[in-house]
Structure 1
Amino acid sequence: MTDGAGEQPERAAERYKEITALVAEAVDRLNARERERAERLEEELATGQDRVESAQQQRDEVAEGVRIRWNAAKEALWEERWMQVTQLPPPDTSAEPVPAEEAIRAVQSAYMELHEAVGQRRWSGMGLLLGGWRGRRES
């Protein structure tokens, strides 16, 4: 005759093993999900860093192009004694942001308008067109 008391500890031990197996499986699933999430976040971070570096490079290229054109404009206006030519002003932080290509076109357009207005044929706008940021003075 069995009193059932011996079965309960065995049953409790089996149930404990089942529960711990379920918990271990849940922990494994959670760890896998967290690894996937971490990989996605690392990819997003890398993409974001690439975008920041690209934007900084574009900013530097635009700034260099503006500096070159500013200096060329100052040289073109050298003979205009009545005009007070200053150093390159700081960027206008209140201006609407635009893509780098649009900024380059706007600066080039303004430079070419100045070139035409001054009427100095000794300056070459061809060297400053969109593709070539380096201007040359014709001899």
Structure 2
Amino acid sequence: MTETAAERYRELAELATAAGKQMRKHERETAKDLGEQVAAGNQRKEESEQTRDELVAELKGIWKSAMQVVWDERWLRSDGVPAPDRSAPDATPMESRIAAHEAYDALRSAIAKPRLPLPRRRK
């Protein structure tokens, strides 16, 4: 059977149309998946920011409590909350909370220990 040029053209046009439809369907599915991934990433980002804000507030509260503990130690003064130590090892928020509470408890224990009285100066 002999195919005319018009029939071959129609056949190729149909193949191209089908391929285009299939490609658009694939792109829609890919776009949907990417949209879901972006939404999930944004949700994780918001949760991380909220966790960070809560942790920073808690650590500022611990710092304020620590400053109250050492209030009577006139030699020990601070200009405010220190900057983060970037050389510190990475830690989860829970590990950071635990470390801060342990440090605060150690400070309270150190301050509460009885001290030897210093001799009075003679006149």
TM (norm. structure 2) is 0.84
- Report deviation, 1:47: 1.0
Looking at structure 1, the residues matched to 90 and 47 of structure 2 have their Cα atoms a distance apart, in angstroms, of 16
**Residue 51 of structure 1, aligned match among 44, 51, 67:** 44
Report 1:116-127 matches (<5 A): 116-119=109-112
Question: Percent identity over the alignment?
Answer: 36
> What does residue 60 of structure 1 align with?
53
Q: CA RMSD in A?
A: 1.6
**What SS does the corresponding residue of 1:109 show, helix, strand or coil?**
helix
> What does residue 87 of structure 1 align with?
80
**Residue 26 of structure 2, aligned match among 21, 28, 33:** 33
> What does residue 70 of structure 2 align with?
77
Higher relative contact order (CA 8 A, sep 6+): 2
Looking at structure 2, the residues matched to 101 and 84 of structure 1 have their Cα atoms a distance apart, in angstroms, of 28
Instruction: Confirm or deny that 1:22 pairs with 2:15.
Output: yes
State the one-letter code of the partner of 2:23.
L
**What SS does the corresponding residue of 1:78 show, helix, strand or coil?**
coil
> What does residue 119 of structure 2 align with?
none
Looking at structure 1, the residues matched to 43 and 78 of structure 2 have their Cα atoms a distance apart, in angstroms, of 39
Report 1:122-133 matches (<5 A): none
**What SS does the corresponding residue of 1:29 show, helix, strand or coil?**
helix
- Report deviation, 1:13: 1.2
Is there any run of 5+ residues in structure 2 with no aligned partner, and where?
Answer: 114-123
Q: For this pair of structures, how many residues does the alignment match?
A: 112
Looking at structure 1, the residues matched to 35 and 88 of structure 2 have their Cα atoms a distance apart, in angstroms, of 34
Looking at structure 2, the residues matched to 45 and 94 of structure 1 have their Cα atoms a distance apart, in angstroms, of 31
**What SS does the corresponding residue of 1:93 show, helix, strand or coil?**
coil
Range with greater deviation from structure 2 (87-96 or 55-64): 87-96
Looking at structure 1, the residues matched to 24 and 87 of structure 2 have their Cα atoms a distance apart, in angstroms, of 47
Looking at structure 2, the residues matched to 96 and 20 of structure 1 have their Cα atoms a distance apart, in angstroms, of 62
State the one-letter code of the partner of 2:9.
Y
